[in-house]
Amino acid sequence: MASTRQTKSKYYLRLLSLLLLVSIATVAVSILAMNITRDLKLLNSADSDNVQWSLTQAEVEFLEFDIELSIASNQLSPDLDALRRKYDIFYSRIKTLSQSQIYGELRRDAGFASNLEKSQAFLEAILPAIDGQETQLVASLPNIVAEANAVRPFVRSLANSGLMHFATESDRRRETLSTTLGQMAISATVLAIALIALAIYLGVLAQRNAKGIAKLNRANERMQIITSTSLDAVIVSDSTGKVLDYNTAAESIFGYTRDYAIGKELGELIVPQKFKDAHDQGMQRMREHGEKRVVGKGRVQLEGQHADGTIFPVELAIQSASTRDGEIFIAFLRDISEKVNADKELIEARDRALAGEKAKASFLATMSHEIRTPLNGLLGNLTLIKSTKLNAKQTKYIENMEASGSLLMNHISDVLDVLSYESGKLQIRLAPVDVSALLEEIVNSLSGAAMQQGTMLEWGWVSEPVGWINTDYRKLQHIVVNLIGNAIKFTQNGRVSVGVGLVQADSRAGELEITVRDSGIGIHPDQIETIFEDFVTGNSAYNREAGGTGLGLGIAQRFATVLEGHVSVESTPDVGSIFKVTVPVSVVKEPIEGLPSAPIAPAEKPLDILLVEDNEINRFVATEMLVKFGHTVTEAVNGKVGAELANAHRFDLILMDISMPVMDGREATRAIRAGGGASKDSSIVALTANVLVNEQEMFLADGMNDVITKPLTEEALNHVSNVWGVQRNAANHLLSEKHFTELREIIGPEQHAKLIERLSAEVADLIDDIQNVSSPELDEVAASVHKVAGSAATLGANGFATLLNSLETAAKAKELAEVEKLSGKLPLLWQRTLGAFRERT
């Protein structure tokens, strides 16, 4: 760019100097031409007259006078008039020579001037005689003759000196003219050369120009070809939106011809009616403030309008460029109807697949559950049969049936575990666990099976023994049982040794490694990759021998994963396998004695609890535990009895089994909530073996406050009694009646219903957002919780608002565990709050 400018200025400089040269030469030639004209004028006409003739004429006229004088001197009566006439003529001539400007130059010649003076003196001298009386003139004649003789040589010299002067003058003029003509010739030559140089230079420039234009044309042509062959529509507009260019692809995409489109307003042409206002505003913003929202921002997806009115999706990119005529915009547009359709189909296909997957999961869960219930019945009845009188054969059959039933029960549990992991609902419960006790218990329980295989089972520490660690007891137990069980299954008359070690990162945290080593048949290298996949079992040849669903290792791996650890394997066929589970743990102090697995503080205050449970043993155990914490327990054997007791007496907390004869837990709950009895606002917590989330949600919808899964543990019982017992007051004041009713009266039922709807939406969003929340997001959570709390308080949902306030406090304090705990209560409490709303509208 810079070099082009330099080259250009060089051209101009050269051109300018040539033009200057031509101008100078032209001026010189003009001046010289003027000089020549002047000189020629002087030569040709001018003021010359026939001067030489006049000069000689002076002598001639003097001689004529002289002759007339001689004639008069020799006659008695001379012709004096003739003499006087000749005098006058000579007089006139001399007067002319002395006055005329023609002879001005000549008169400066000293010789001429002297001669002229003498001639004049002569004329003056004889004048009185000439003009006098005739007699006087005649008498003076001899004197005049003498005077004439005396002056004659001077009159002659007068003529001659004049002639000399004019000859010299003539020569000088010729010389001047000749010099001028010479200068003229030189100047003309210079001019001619300069003009030729200029012509050549202009020729070169013209050629260069022509080359440049040709190059530009070729570039333009190429540009034209590129845009016209582009598959994308290319539309160029000025800053007012007027179309400047419009390529072939644009013709086919938008249906307007190029001739029609050029000069039209872009918005009128391709922007659908519904976007026209936005388009116009955008253009205006750009013109007024230079604000560009789309320009230069890459590809955006919009809608375009075809000439026939069809609206279709387009992908658009706009770039701007500054030109001499102002800013222009180049839009590249692509019809993406097909892509959008394809995307839509893909999304639909995915949704269908997901829905199918979900349906399948739901089906599996239902089936598993539905199988488990009759299986429980079978097993229960087998237990009953065993207490009747049986012969040895029958006893053997029943034992076989029990074994089969237990196995079937385990398989179903496995399937449910997989399902809950896949749905992301596999929760972990961290609690202090005595590792040695855990291993001891497992090894003891499996030693029977090992013995049957003729295999020796042993365990021991490979590091310094560790006391208590914080982990999920059930899951770790499941993993280890599975690994040892597998090892025993595939090892006959061999040895299974379990090594436990803690690889400590620091004094408080480390990784627990449990290694299960067997001398069994091993795993073929081809299979080692897939053994953790679902429904993969060992070599088919051993299938019958070993049995299994193929879910065991998959579940072990999943559990290890939720504990943030993993299971690995090494194996040599016919030598044995080594399975190793590694999970991060923290080392904790031994819990206070008497509450071995309950880290939560014991009951803060004694509660009045109603326990509704049909199973006598379960009822017995639960009552024992609750009484131990200092609570008062009233027992009911089924839902009907429970509901009647609840209506009659106000309990702080009701623990409700789900599956019961006469009236199940759900129905009983609904009856308590709807019945208007003494305990209608009391907390109700479900006791269930059901782990399916869907079902748990249904319980909450029935009006229950929480769910705990069987088997009952002290920990779980203590937890619910603390949370729901303490929150009894809040539960009592689930709704501020006064507040709720007043607001409803003030704004009217319609607006009130809308407010409730809006709060429902907010709560639903909050519950979604708060799931799987991570530490960095806690501030955000606190903010959104605060907002919803405000809305809830406005509607008089005091209970819910109180919970949200606690949640907000926890979030602000970055107590992630507390946030998770409290947020888990949101759905149920909201269900109840909504129920309370409905009751009062």
**Closest distance to another protein from the beta carbon of 166 (Å):** 14
- Cα separation values, 648 from 319, 370, 651, 680, 836, Å: 78, 35, 10, 10, 21
**Closest distance to another protein from the beta carbon of 106 (Å):** 12
Comparing CA positions, the residue from 579, 558, 446 lying closest to residue 515 is 579
**Piece in contact with another protein (CB under 8 A), picked from 57-65, 417-425, 462-470, 682-690:** 57-65
**Piece in contact with another protein (CB under 8 A), picked from 3-11, 101-109, 391-399, 517-525:** 101-109
Q: Hey, which residues between 690 and 749 contact another protein (CB under 8 A)?
A: none
CA distance 804 to 782: 9
Helix/strand/coil for 522: coil
Nearer to another protein, 104 or 748 (CB): 104
CA distance 352 to 67: 155
CA distance 174 to 186: 18
**Closest distance to another protein from the beta carbon of 95 (Å):** 5
CA distance 756 to 811: 25
Tokens representing 358 are 């979900």
Q: Hey, which residues between 261 and 280 contact another protein (CB under 8 A)?
A: none
**Closest distance to another protein from the beta carbon of 122 (Å):** 13
**Piece in contact with another protein (CB under 8 A), picked from 91-99, 186-194, 381-389, 778-786:** 91-99
Q: How many residues bind another protein (CB under 8 A)?
A: 29
User: Residue 303 pairs with which residues in a beta bridge?
Assistant: 313
Instruction: Name the pairing type of β-strands 509-518 and 495-504.
Output: antiparallel
Does position 102 interact with another protein (CB under 8 A)? The reply is yes
DSSP output for 63-128: HHHHHHHHHHHT-SS--HHHHHHHHHHHHHHHHHHHH-GGGHHHHTSHHHHHHHHHHHHHHHHHHH
Does position 427 interact with another protein (CB under 8 A)? The reply is no
Nearer to another protein, 57 or 805 (CB): 57
Q: Hey, which residues between 234 and 253 contact another protein (CB under 8 A)?
A: none
Does position 88 interact with another protein (CB under 8 A)? The reply is yes
**Piece in contact with another protein (CB under 8 A), picked from 83-91, 431-439, 527-535, 740-748:** 83-91
Binding-site member from 62, 69, 91, 494 for another protein (CB under 8 A): 91
Nearer to another protein, 92 or 775 (CB): 92
**Closest distance to another protein from the beta carbon of 188 (Å):** 27
Does position 45 interact with another protein (CB under 8 A)? The reply is yes
CA distance 820 to 774: 10
Does position 92 interact with another protein (CB under 8 A)? The reply is yes
CA distance 233 to 221: 18
Binding-site member from 17, 23, 49, 200 for another protein (CB under 8 A): 49
Nearer to another protein, 114 or 230 (CB): 114
**Closest distance to another protein from the beta carbon of 45 (Å):** 4
Q: What single-letter amino acid sits at 22?
A: V
CA distance 533 to 551: 8
CA distance 324 to 341: 42
Binding-site member from 13, 20, 34, 46 for another protein (CB under 8 A): 46
Q: Hey, which residues between 474 and 513 contact another protein (CB under 8 A)?
A: none
Nearer to another protein, 26 or 98 (CB): 98
Binding-site member from 47, 221, 737, 757 for another protein (CB under 8 A): 47
**Piece in contact with another protein (CB under 8 A), picked from 41-49, 281-289, 585-593, 645-653:** 41-49
Comparing CA positions, the residue from 372, 490, 514 lying closest to residue 442 is 514
Radius of gyration of the chain (CA): 65
C-beta atoms surrounding 294 within 10 Å: 17
**Piece in contact with another protein (CB under 8 A), picked from 84-92, 651-659, 681-689, 702-710:** 84-92
Strands (E), 554-631: 566-572, 576-588, 608-612
Nearer to another protein, 86 or 478 (CB): 86
**Closest distance to another protein from the beta carbon of 94 (Å):** 9
Contact residues for 282 (Cβ-Cβ < 8 A; gap 6+) = 293, 294
Nearer to another protein, 19 or 46 (CB): 46
Nearer to another protein, 85 or 152 (CB): 85
Nearer to another protein, 96 or 527 (CB): 96
Tokens representing 825 are 């209560």
Strands (E), 527-676: 566-572, 576-588, 608-612, 632-636, 653-657
DSSP output for 385-439: HHTS---HHHHHHHHHHHHHHHHHHHHHHHHHHHHHHHTT------EEEEHHHHH
Nearer to another protein, 128 or 661 (CB): 128
Binding-site member from 3, 4, 44, 774 for another protein (CB under 8 A): 44
Does position 98 interact with another protein (CB under 8 A)? The reply is yes
Q: Hey, which residues between 540 and 599 contact another protein (CB under 8 A)?
A: none
Comparing CA positions, the residue from 459, 445, 448, 449 lying closest to residue 490 is 449
Binding-site member from 48, 136, 217, 444 for another protein (CB under 8 A): 48
Alpha-helix residue ranges (DSSP H) falling in 649-736 = 665-675, 693-702, 714-726, 728-732
Does position 68 interact with another protein (CB under 8 A)? The reply is no
Does position 354 interact with another protein (CB under 8 A)? The reply is no
Does position 456 interact with another protein (CB under 8 A)? The reply is no
**Piece in contact with another protein (CB under 8 A), picked from 10-18, 42-50, 334-342, 471-479:** 42-50
Q: Hey, which residues between 110 and 139 contact another protein (CB under 8 A)?
A: 113, 120, 124, 127, 131
Contact residues for 51 (Cβ-Cβ < 8 A; gap 6+) = 102, 103, 162, 166
Binding site for another protein (CB under 8 A): 44-50, 57, 61, 64, 85, 88-89, 91-92, 95-96, 98-102, 104, 107, 113, 120, 124, 127, 131
